[in-house]
């Protein structure tokens, strides 16, 4: 029998090793060394530091761990000791359609407006609970950007194109419209095209100058022109223009339209994750608002996030344009008019004569004369709107109908037969999609629109006819 005469060297950590990966100068270092050398004594130095880095990044996730919980508990205590204090009383903010907003979203907004950097806020009628800032929340800050105030899907946006295709053709050549939609769209986390057309956004200098973006460039190339999962969609439909004084000089009437909803794909999600972790390290906050950690705009980290966020927004726009171009080209058509807008983004704006960073997490820009799109659900209408520039709303409006049920609640309470019946009743064909996106999971879009007549004027109404979404729940 062969006997190995060499024993694996035991792990030996030094305080310097932990400080190098970001551990604070405190008793947590000796606690961590003791735990690792006792329970991970046969691990390599690299593996041990990788474990410690994960605990440092998200200590709350390890508080119940039988071994690592000792380290996590001390890190959480340290965070709370160092946490910046919130205001005792939050700043005043406007609420639109309060009767449609759940109490969890209100509580989140009440916490957000207590941030010391908050200077103004508003809550839209489609608001519901989210991470950090509620979906439908608008928060203005002074010289600070909150990655989770923008959201995970940076630059998530709407885009509507009106091609020169007769409305009657949708019914007459129905199968062609279904095939073109199916063949020219891709959805979901791993979706990518084999051949990506040239796009100026992929040549941007940020991809060469910022290490994170350099790492994400290949992912961005492959996913350009694709859509996400969840509530992202590509739709054929009919838009009814009701305002004769519209910006496109189109006569009042019905037109074929393409409507898309998606964001910056995997690149945006990784930017959001990276800078949220960094913000939480640099700006510790009480646990209930930890996701609202901010980056000062006059720091290197703040400027890096700002550049990355804007690139992600432009990338999202390019994705939409490519999707529309594929569909229009496949139909042998040309585009007559286009409307588009972000609704997960931050802007430098002036309000009351003061420059602010305005975060719209699930809210549509609605400055005076600004065009935007507010969708309903896969069976409910959406609206092209013109902003009225309402100061109390920080020039904002809702970004859709808003969820009435969480995804898990929808999957538990909505049956496939009930959803199929609703689709049939509304004359809508669904390709893909799941019960989590059932029309019943959303608020009544007409009630939501009724709650924001001071914020926007309706120019046109869009009704979906063929909807393409990611498969499954």
Q: Does the pLDDT of residue 182 top 50, yes or no?
A: yes
Confidence of residue 4 (pLDDT cuts 50, 70, 90): very low
Q: Note the pLDDT tens digit of each residue in 297-309.
A: 999 999 999 999 9
Determine the Cα–Cα distance for residues 63 and 56; give it in Å rounded to an integer: 11
Determine the Cα–Cα distance for residues 453 and 206; give it in Å rounded to an integer: 40
Q: Note the pLDDT tens digit of each residue in 225-265.
A: 999 998 999 999 999 999 998 999 999 999 999 999 999 99
Q: Does the pLDDT of residue 194 top 90, yes or no?
A: no
157-163 vs 335-342, strand pairing mode: antiparallel
Please give the structure tokens belonging to residue 470.
């990611």
Q: Whole-prediction pTM value?
A: 0.83
pLDDT at 5: 42
Sequence-distant (≥ 6) Cβ neighbours of residue 302 within 8 angstroms:
144, 145, 295, 296
Q: What is the DSSP string of 414-457?
A: --HHHHHHHHHHTT-EEEEE-GGG-GGGB--HHHHHHTTTTTEE
| Helix (H) or strand (E) segment spanning residue 361 | strand 354-361
Contact predicate 398/128, CB 8 Å? no
Q: What is the maximum alpha-carbon separation in the chain?
A: 92
Length of the chain equals 473
Mean pLDDT over residues 363-386, rounded?
96
pLDDT at 169: 94
Residue 354 Cα distances to 46, 119, 221, 359, 387, angstroms: 49, 10, 39, 15, 21
Mean pLDDT over residues 148-177, rounded?
95
Whether domain 148-471 has CATH 3.40.350.10: the reply is no
Q: Does the pLDDT of residue 132 top 80, yes or no?
A: yes
Confidence of residue 423 (pLDDT cuts 50, 70, 90): very high
Q: Does the pLDDT of residue 195 top 80, yes or no?
A: no
pLDDT at 419: 94
Q: Does the pLDDT of residue 453 top 90, yes or no?
A: yes
pLDDT at 407: 87
Q: Does the pLDDT of residue 374 top 90, yes or no?
A: yes
Closest to 22 (Cα-Cα) out of 62, 51, 44, 52:
52
Please give the structure tokens belonging to residue 210.
């910022």
Determine the Cα–Cα distance for residues 233 and 259; give it in Å rounded to an integer: 8
Determine the Cα–Cα distance for residues 158 and 113; give it in Å rounded to an integer: 27
pLDDT at 157: 96
For the chain, domain boundaries? 15-82, 148-471
What mean pLDDT is reported for the chain? 92
Higher local confidence (pLDDT), 24 or 64: 64
Confidence of residue 343 (pLDDT cuts 50, 70, 90): very high
Mean pLDDT over residues 312-334, rounded?
96
Determine the Cα–Cα distance for residues 286 and 58; give it in Å rounded to an integer: 14
pLDDT at 472: 65
């Amino acid at each position: 029998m062969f006997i190995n005469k060499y024993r694996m060297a035991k792990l030996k950590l030094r305080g310097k090793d932990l400080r190098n990966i970001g551990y604070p100068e405190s008793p947590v270092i000796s606690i961590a060394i003791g735990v690792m050398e006792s329970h991970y004594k046969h691990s390599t130095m690299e593996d041990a530091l990788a474990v410690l880095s994960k605990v440092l990044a998200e200590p709350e996730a390890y508080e119940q761990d039988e071994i690592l919980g000792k380290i996590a508990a001390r890190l959480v205590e340290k965070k709370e000791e160092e946490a910046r204090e919130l205001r005792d009383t939050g700043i005043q903010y406007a609420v639109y359609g309060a009767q449609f907003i759940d109490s969890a979203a209100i509580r989140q907004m009440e916490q957000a407006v207590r941030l010391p950097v908050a200077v103004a806020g508003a809550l839209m009628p489609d608001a519901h609970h989210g991470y950090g800032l509620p979906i439908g929340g608008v928060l203005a800050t002074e010289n600070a950007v909150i990655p989770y105030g923008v959201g995970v899907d940076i630059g998530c946006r709407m885009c509507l194109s009106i091609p020169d295709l007769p409305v009657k053709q949708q019914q007459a050549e129905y199968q062609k419209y279904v095939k073109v939609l199916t063949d020219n769209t891709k959805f979901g986390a791993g979706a990518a095209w084999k051949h990506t057309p040239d796009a100026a956004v992929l040549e941007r200098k940020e991809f060469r100058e910022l290490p994170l973006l350099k790492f994400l460039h290949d992912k961005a190339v492959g996913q350009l022109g694709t859509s996400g999962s969840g509530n992202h969609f590509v739709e054929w439909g009919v838009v009814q223009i009701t305002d004769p004084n519209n910006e496109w000089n189109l006569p009042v009437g019905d037109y074929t339209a393409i409507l898309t909803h998606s964001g910056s794909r995997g690149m945006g999600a990784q930017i959001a994750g990276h800078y949220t972790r960094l913000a939480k390290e640099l700006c510790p906050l009480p646990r209930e608002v930890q996701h609202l950690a901010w980056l000062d705009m006059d720091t290197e980290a703040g400027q890096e996030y700002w550049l990355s966020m804007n690139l992600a927004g432009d990338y999202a726009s390019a994705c939409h344009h490519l999707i529309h171009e594929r569909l229009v080209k496949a139909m042998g058509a040309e585009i007559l008019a286009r409307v588009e807008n972000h609704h997960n983004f931050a802007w430098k704006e002036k309000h009351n004569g003061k420059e602010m960073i305005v975060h719209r997490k699930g809210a549509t820009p609605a400055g005076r004369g600004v065009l935007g799109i507010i969708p309903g659900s896969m069976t409910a209408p959406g609206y092209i709107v013109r902003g009225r520039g309402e100061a109390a709303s920080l020039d904002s409006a809702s970004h859709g109908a808003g969820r009435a049920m969480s995804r898990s609640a929808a999957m538990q309470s909505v049956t496939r037969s009930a959803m199929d019946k609703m689709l049939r009743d509304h004359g809508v064909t669904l390709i893909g999609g799941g019960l989590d996106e059932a029309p019943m999971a959303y608020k009544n879009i007409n009630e939501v629109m009724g709650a924001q007549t001071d914020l926007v004027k309706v120019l046109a109404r869009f009704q979906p006819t063929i909807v393409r979404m990611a498969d499954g729940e």
